Chain A
Amino acid sequence: MAALQTLARRCSTSILKRHFSVSSPVAAQMTVRDALNTAMNEEMKRDESVFLLGEEVAEYDGAYKVSRGLWRKYGDKRVMDTPITEMGFAGIAVGSAMAGLKPICEFMTFNFSMQAIDQVINSAAKTYYMSAGKQTVPIVFRGPNGAAAGVAAQHSQCFAAWYGHCPGLKVVSPYSSEDAKGLLKSAIRDPNPVVCMENELMYGTAFEMSDEAMSEEFLVPIGKAKIEREGTHCTLVSHSKSVGLCLEAAQILEKENIFCEVINLRTIRPMDEETLINSVKKTNHLVTVEGGWPQFGVGAEIVAKVMESDAFDYLDAPVYRVTGADIPMPYAATLERATLPGTQDVVLTVKKSLHIQ
């Protein structure tokens, strides 16, 4: 781990010399995968009761290599390979949390969490309330969420809206490596049940990491959004991979002198309404962007929140949503591309909001 970080640091210093440096010269680069790995490693080192279970997390080093090296370091007791029985092992994970351990339960993708969703909602999320505060469930459910590439309908669903619906659950959706590390660490330390939805296509993407982000005590607070880019004409709000889409769209629009404010939600539940509302009051225009389906989605919830808030009086246009198409995910590459939102969707929608041709 340390060798990898040093290597990354050496590479990044040479790369950074060619760009405007926005952080200190020793800023490192880290992929989302490594950030998640580092988060789990640091938290397992810090707290004996933290352990990881799931399919292929141990000897395979993780289906997507997110848990690489952890089994070799911590052994069978702390990193457990499970059979392919989501309902069973998710229930076991929840039970172990009830009895005082701090499990990280990995779903190979959140599509498979549907088989275990009763344990997530009825056994984990609701228990603290039903017991009137007697029984805690300090568990983290994590794994890739949403579309990947060419994996078709059963393996491409976004579960942000489903899990975000439920009181008693915290739901986070990191975009960058800093998000991934800080949110996962916060999730593991949080004594409540937390769903951490990652994105497979982001695992290999490298991001700059500040010195602070590289420290073992770096946490990103759950429930606080991040303004990735400030702007004045239109607010773009998003989560996970779509944040990147918004940033790209914002760059394109900048060339036409349209300055978008890009908000990275970071947390789906509890959602940072304050940041959203303040931004809308500033820009008077809002476009939500997500990969998931439109009906009853994250964007739909944001629209409702804004309608019911005093930000409504500041809107100069309806709130618009950019989402995945309202169809099961097709396999063929062209069709898949057309199913997921692209920069042109965001640019078009922002212009519509601003009544620009």
Chain B
Amino acid sequence: MLSCAARLVRAQIQSKPTACWVVAARGYADIVDEATFTTSEYALHKLDEGPSQTVTVTRDDALKYYRQMQTIRRMETAAGNLYKSKVIRGFCHLYSGQEACAVGMEAALTPNDHVITAYRAHGWTYTRGVPPVNILAELTGRKSGVAKGKGGSMHMYGHNFYGGNGIVGAQVPLGAGIALALKYKGSNDVCVALYGDGAANQGQVFETYNIAKLWDLPCIFVCENNGYGMGTAVERASASTEYYTRGDYVPGLRADGMDVLAVREATRFAAEWCRSGKGPMLLEVATYRYHGHSMSDPGTTYRPREEIQEMRKTRDPITGLRERLISVNLATAEEMKQIDLDVRAEIDKAVEQAKADPELPVEEMYNDIFVDEPPFKVRGTNPFMYGMSK
């Protein structure tokens, strides 16, 4: 009954990640500063060795990841509600369920690294440094939005973050181009170019693998495999669903995308590979999205409800991290509950602002066509109407 992808996400974890010795008492005095866990195995392609299955995390980092994932979850839930009440229009692709991918990868990168992704981008926009209020205001089309309301859900940009791209697969060559620029400038930074299981069959992706490998570009190609390209399950779209091998001559690995620490470790491994000048690497993260492809899709006509419920219950990345932290006394349930409340309050406040802020005045629609250009006339919707582009 479960789709291939869900089976994969479940199967690749032979057993739930193990914890180290559990402390019996639960008082604050027993809180530890760091803990070590074992991730599930990584699948390797053209690699002699892979990332470590033994991952250590500090308390501070763990709580940060928890907070970040919870923020994305709440923000996406708020976006879904705003869409249902018609305050958000058009496209809205929610990241709920995939939080560990953005947060885990970001944990292994620096703000000097570069990221480009496709349209399921709200979570990444946040981890790249854009406050939730500016993301939600962009979704509601207001002038406090990160693109002043001119971009919408799929076109949010940030520091070293190139969106948010609406055309499936187009962001992959762009990402390799960014990596080219980094290499050209002699930088030690990498570019992470993300795409989904649906985009993985795009011709331009293979064209990009070819050039990236030929030119040794410092590019980490990341396939966020959530099991479905819109309504098409992976085994119905791809002759090979081993996406981490699809780069052929590009070495690859697959990690559990529901485990934020596994994602972090895999990304660390890939980033080190690219930074050392060995060329590109392909990282597949096996993940899952709870909602439909977009808000227009209930997400239940092509997959069983039981599958979604099962994933939420047994593989949720946020619950998974919470259980881990509690089990080894890295944090208490109470303080994580407090984080939940803080995040909820922050998002609720952001929602209010996203609803209350005004849209750009109509005259400003003519702006931002060209950069560094003296003001010029732009035609409107009839021959007698012109705006000035500034």
Contact = CB atoms under 8 A, between A and B. Distances in A.
Interface of A: 49, 51, 77, 80, 82-83, 85, 87-101, 118-119, 122-123, 128-136, 167-168, 170, 191-192, 270, 308
A99 B214 contact: no
A213 to B, nearest CB: 24
B368 interface: yes
Contact of A130 (B150, B173, B178, B370): B150
Closest 10 CB pairs of A and B: A95-B177, A91-B173, A88-B207, A99-B181, A95-B174, A85-B207, A92-B177, A132-B148, A130-B155, A96-B177
B184 A128 contact: no
Contacts of A133: 367-368, 371
Contacts of A91: 170, 172-174, 176-177, 204, 208
B262 interface: no
Contacts of A92: 173-174, 176-177, 180, 208, 211
15 contacts: A82-B211, A83-B211, A88-B207, A89-B207, A91-B204, A92-B173, A92-B174, A94-B173, A95-B173, A95-B180, A118-B167, A123-B174, A131-B157, A131-B368, A192-B372
Interface in B196-212: 203-204, 206-208, 210-211
B42 interface: no
Contacts of B116: 95
Contacts of B175: 95
B27 interface: no
Nearest to B156: A131
Contacts of B162: 95, 98, 135
A87 B150 contact: no
Given A77-B184, A100-B185, A132 B177 contact: no
Given A129-B368, A131-B157, A122 B167 contact: yes
Instruction: Point out which of B146, B177, B378 has the most chain A C-beta atoms below 10 A from its C-beta.
Output: B177
Contact of B147 (A101, A119, A132, A167): A132
A132 B174 contact: no
A13 B288 CA distance: 74
Contacts of B376: 270
B325 to A, nearest CB: 37
A128 B214 contact: no
A83 B370 contact: no
B389 to A, nearest CB: 9
Contact of B181 (A82, A96, A123, A170): A96
Interface string B181-203: 11011000001000000000001
Contact of A88 (B150, B210, B372, B378): B210
Contacts of B191: 99
Contacts of A97: 177
A132 B369 CA distance: 9
Interface string B204-234: 1011101100110000000000000000000
Nearest to A129: B368
A338 to B, nearest CB: 37
A136 B373 CA distance: 13
Contact of A123 (B147, B170, B182, B215): B170
Contacts of B172: 91
A95 B176 contact: yes
Interface string B147-172: 11111000101000011011100101
B64 to A, nearest CB: 26
Contacts of A87: 173, 203-204, 207
Contacts of B210: 83, 85, 88
B114 interface: yes
A131 B204 contact: no
A291 B177 CA distance: 34
Nearest to B175: A95
Instruction: Point out which of B116, B151, B175, B210 has the most chain A C-beta atoms below 10 A from its C-beta.
Output: B151
Contacts of B368: 128-129, 131-133
Contacts of B155: 130-131
A132 B208 CA distance: 28
B383 interface: yes
Contacts of A90: 173
Nearest to B212: A92
Given A88-B173, A89-B211, A134-B157, A98 B178 contact: yes
Contacts of B182: 99
Contact of B383 (A49, A94, A136, A308): A308
A354 B146 CA distance: 57
Instruction: Point out which of A90, A122, A134 has the most chain B C-beta atoms below 10 A from its C-beta.
Output: A134
Given A88-B204, A167-B369, A131 B147 contact: yes
A96 B217 CA distance: 12
Contacts of B157: 131, 134-135
Given A91-B208, A135-B157, A99 B373 contact: no
